[in-house]
């Protein structure tokens, strides 16, 4: 939780203990200056908390008589769903029109949650990353998400039961790095010590999470979201496709996102090839089927060269012929299709 927000809630905690608290006393308890205390009191008023200013020699702040924040009757899954919805909406821009309403709502919810659950949910929010766009993702089981998020925060190994896409089940020890929501799915990036490599795991395929003793050093290099996108783009599939496409990496990624393709700009060509307009980029994809790629390549609206597989060349040629045939075909009801000109017998 951000420190200013934590201190605002700490101020509310002090005021809820009752009585009038002077500004110097509050400043000392919170470790801030008196001007900041007044600003924090204003934040509480913005949250509809009835903070009253008491004037005079022994004045300060107090809560309106009889006011008490009510308990929030949410279980772990409900609280998780609400907070994740607020965070996802803010990061994806869905709640931008509401201004700070999402932040104030999250602050109110955090304030009344039990300490155990508040710490667990804060661990989730600190470790969670979203790709762009995040997609519509159902929150995973809290019994899986909460202990894994805690392990990411504290660098603790975990033991999990995992069901692979082909149905095979295994028990693994993981060193989790981060949690990512991407295209409606939730993933954890982790080192798999038994395999000796970094892997990406779907959270909805994990069960029976158990925190293990010990700790591990967090990895350096790409952030968790980049690791997930790279892992998806390089996952083993039936076909490996390599292309050269004219354009910058940014232009190409607008049509072929990171979760689908790896895009690398090529150095400027030399010799006779330098006369080709540039820049060019190499594009690598791994796909289970090729039949949908010709339409995607046509949508790039850029020159491209197919390096592999040869089968894709034939599919693109056939797709181009179908487009050309459709363009030449007369529309239904046009008399020219029967050889009869308008106005003739």
pLDDT 10s digits, 94-132: 444 444 555 666 666 776 677 777 787 778 777 777 665
Same domain, 217 and 117: yes
Look up the CATH number of the domain holding residue 244.
3.30.70
8 Å CB contact between 189 and 224: yes
Same domain, 206 and 113: yes
Q: What tens digit of pLDDT does each residue of 244-284 get?
A: 999 988 888 888 876 678 888 888 766 555 556 678 999 98
Same domain, 21 and 97: no
Instruction: Domain of residue 112: give its range.
Output: 76-231
Same domain, 269 and 190: no
pLDDT recorded at residue 168: 84
Alpha helices in the chain (DSSP H): 3-16, 23-30, 34-46, 76-92, 101-112, 115-127, 142-154, 224-233, 249-253, 293-300, 310-328
Q: Considering the domain boundaries, does residue 18 fall inside one?
A: yes
Q: Considering the domain boundaries, does residue 334 fall inside one?
A: no
CA 156 → CA 147, 190, 197, 208, distances in Å?
Answer: 10, 11, 17, 16
Same domain, 88 and 199: yes
pLDDT recorded at residue 341: 42
Which band of pLDDT confidence, cut at 50, 70 and 90, is reported for residue 171? very high
Same domain, 94 and 227: yes
Look up the CATH number of the domain holding residue 45.
1.10.10.10
Same domain, 184 and 282: no
Q: Considering the domain boundaries, does residue 189 fall inside one?
A: yes
Residue with tokens 């009889």: 66
Q: What tens digit of pLDDT does each residue of 17-52 get?
A: 778 889 998 888 888 898 999 999 888 888 778 888
Task: Write down which residue in 173, 208, 231 finishes a domain.
Answer: 231
> Has residue 73 got a pLDDT over 70?
no
β pairing state of 158-163 and 206-211: antiparallel
């Amino acid at each position: 939780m951000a420190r200013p927000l934590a201190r605002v809630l700490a101020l509310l905690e002090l005021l809820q203990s009752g009585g009038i608290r002077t500004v110097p006393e509050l400043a000392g308890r919170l470790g801030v200056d008196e001007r900041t205390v007044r600003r924090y009191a204003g934040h509480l008023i913005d949250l509809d908390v009835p903070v009253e200013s008491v004037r005079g020699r022994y004045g300060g702040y107090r809560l309106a008589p009889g006011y008490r924040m009510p308990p929030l009757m949410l279980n772990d899954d409900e609280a998780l769903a609400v907070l994740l919805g607020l965070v996802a909406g803010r990061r994806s821009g869905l709640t931008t029109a509401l201004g700070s309403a999402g932040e104030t709502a999250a602050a109110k919810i955090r304030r009344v949650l039990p300490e155990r659950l508040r710490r667990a949910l804060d661990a989730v929010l600190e470790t969670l990353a979203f790709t762009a766009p995040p997609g519509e993702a159902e929150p995973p089981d809290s019994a899986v998400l909460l202990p894994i998020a805690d392990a990411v925060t504290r660098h603790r190994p975990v033991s999990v039961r995992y069901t692979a896409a082909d149905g095979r089940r295994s028990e693994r020890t993981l060193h989790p790095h981060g949690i990512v929501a991407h295209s409606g799915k939730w993933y954890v990036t982790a080192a798999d010590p038994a395999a000796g490599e970094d892997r990406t795991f779907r959270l909805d395929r994990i069960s029976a999470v158990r925190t293990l003793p010990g700790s591990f050093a967090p990895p350096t290099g790409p952030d968790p979201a980049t690791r997930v996108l790279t892992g998806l783009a390089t996952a083993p599939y039936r076909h490996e496709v390599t292309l050269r496409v004219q354009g910058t990496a940014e232009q190409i990624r607008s049509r072929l996102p990171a979760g689908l393709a790896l895009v690398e700009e090529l150095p400027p060509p030399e010799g006779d090839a330098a006369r080709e307009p540039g820049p060019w980029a190499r594009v690598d994809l791994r796909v289970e089927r090729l039949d949908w790629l010709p339409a995607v390549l046509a949508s790039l609206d850029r020159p491209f060269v197919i390096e592999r597989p040869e089968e894709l060349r034939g599919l693109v040629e056939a797709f181009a012929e179908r487009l050309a045939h459709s363009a030449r075909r007369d529309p239904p009801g046009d008399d020219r299709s029967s050889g009869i000109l308008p106005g003739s017998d």
